[in-house]
Amino acid sequence: MPQKLILVTGLSGGGKSTALRALEDLGYYCADNLPAALLPEFAQQIKSNPTRYSMTALGVDARSPAKDLEGIAAWLKDLSSNSLDSQLLFLTADSRAIIKRFSETRRRHPLTRDKDSLPQAIAKEVELLSNLKERADWVIDTSDTNIHQLRRQVWNYAGSDNDAMTVVLESFAFKRGVPQDVDFIFDARILPNPFWEEDLRELSGRDQAVIKWLEQNQSVNGMQQDILTFLKTWLPEFRHSQRSYVTVGIGCTGGRHRSVYLVDRLARGLGADYGTVLIHHREMQL
């Protein structure tokens, strides 16, 4: 199997860092903000160590000189001709969304100069990266996409040519809304809630005290086994139907105790026999 390399680029504020973290979850070796001039040298390192760099993702942005950015397309073509599966992922968004994101984070756009406004810097970056966007194997417009949706899009893209299916197990809080892009939802709110135990309230479903408390309850164990049996029964059918991606949501009231515990236990129960299993605890990342 050839080594895989995904070059991640796009507009500042478009979601490159989120995309790289999503690829890291899939087992990619990731490096961000790499100067474009260093790409050929880095590629040599990748090819010389196929075990460590079997899957690599590199982030490049518009801070590299224009002449170095212009050479990326030819560099990717050369990699592909040398048995290295290379792809270009481009993240973009409309100026309205990017301006809002920079305003919220109070970060400075990398192309901003003393005389340039933020809209002017965005326009310059759009022009500077236009050729790479045209060359891209996949373009994601994140204008109306949150970070959770973007992570799933990247997971789906990067795993789309794998034989194994990707299974995402996500814990969430019903009070913050149900995830929109899940295939199955299981409601853990009927289970005993550690929140009402003062010593456990500030902990999570990953803390040993909460785990021990939940494991002592028969209904918790019963729900865990029932969900695991369901998944083991039906996930193979999804894979046989050429489905590459399935998302399972486990919800409770606050999304920090029961749902977190169940997701971790289900991931352990599935193991590697049902595809690549990814864990996402939505409320614990807020």
Q: Please check whether residues 114 and 255 belong to one and the same domain.
A: no
Q: For residue 118, what is the domain's CATH number?
A: 3.40.50.300
Q: Please check whether residues 28 and 50 belong to one and the same domain.
A: yes
Q: Please check whether residues 135 and 170 belong to one and the same domain.
A: no
Model pLDDT, residue 114: 59
- CB under 8 Å to 5, separation ≥6 — which residues? 43, 46, 55, 56, 57, 58, 79, 84, 85, 86, 87
Give the residue numbers spanning the domain of 277. 166-285
Q: How many domains does the chain have?
A: 2
Q: Please check whether residues 23 and 150 belong to one and the same domain.
A: yes
Sheet holding 84-92, edge to edge: 29-31, 55-59, 3-10, 84-92, 138-141
Model pLDDT, residue 251: 97
Q: Please check whether residues 146 and 203 belong to one and the same domain.
A: no
Give 42's DSSP letter: H
Between the alpha carbon of residue 41 and those of residues 12, 36, 201, 245, the distances in Å are 25, 10, 51, 35
Model pLDDT, residue 283: 93
Share of the chain above pLDDT 90, in %: 52
Question: Global pTM?
Answer: 0.65
Rg (the chain; Cα; Å): 22
Closest CA to 20 of 60, 56, 57, 52: 57
Which residues does the chain have with pLDDT short of 70? 1, 82, 113-115, 159-164, 242, 286
Give the residue carrying structure tokens 């490159």. 16
Q: Please check whether residues 124 and 153 belong to one and the same domain.
A: yes
DSSP assignment of 130-165 equals: HHHHHH-SEEEE-TT--HHHHHHHHHHHHTTT-SSP
Q: Please check whether residues 67 and 132 belong to one and the same domain.
A: yes
Model pLDDT, residue 229: 96
Q: Pick the last residue of a domain from 115, 139, 158.
A: 158
Q: Pick the last residue of a domain from 158, 175, 205.
A: 158
Q: Please check whether residues 67 and 193 belong to one and the same domain.
A: no
Q: Please check whether residues 145 and 14 belong to one and the same domain.
A: yes
Q: Please check whether residues 218 and 256 belong to one and the same domain.
A: yes
pLDDT tens track for 236-279: 888 777 677 899 999 999 999 999 999 999 999 998 788 789 99
Residue 270, SS3? helix
In whole angstroms, what is the distance from residue 92 CA to residue 142 CA?
6
In whole angstroms, what is the distance from residue 265 CA to residue 275 CA?
16
Q: Please check whether residues 134 and 200 belong to one and the same domain.
A: no
Q: Pick the last residue of a domain from 126, 158, 190.
A: 158
Model pLDDT, residue 245: 81
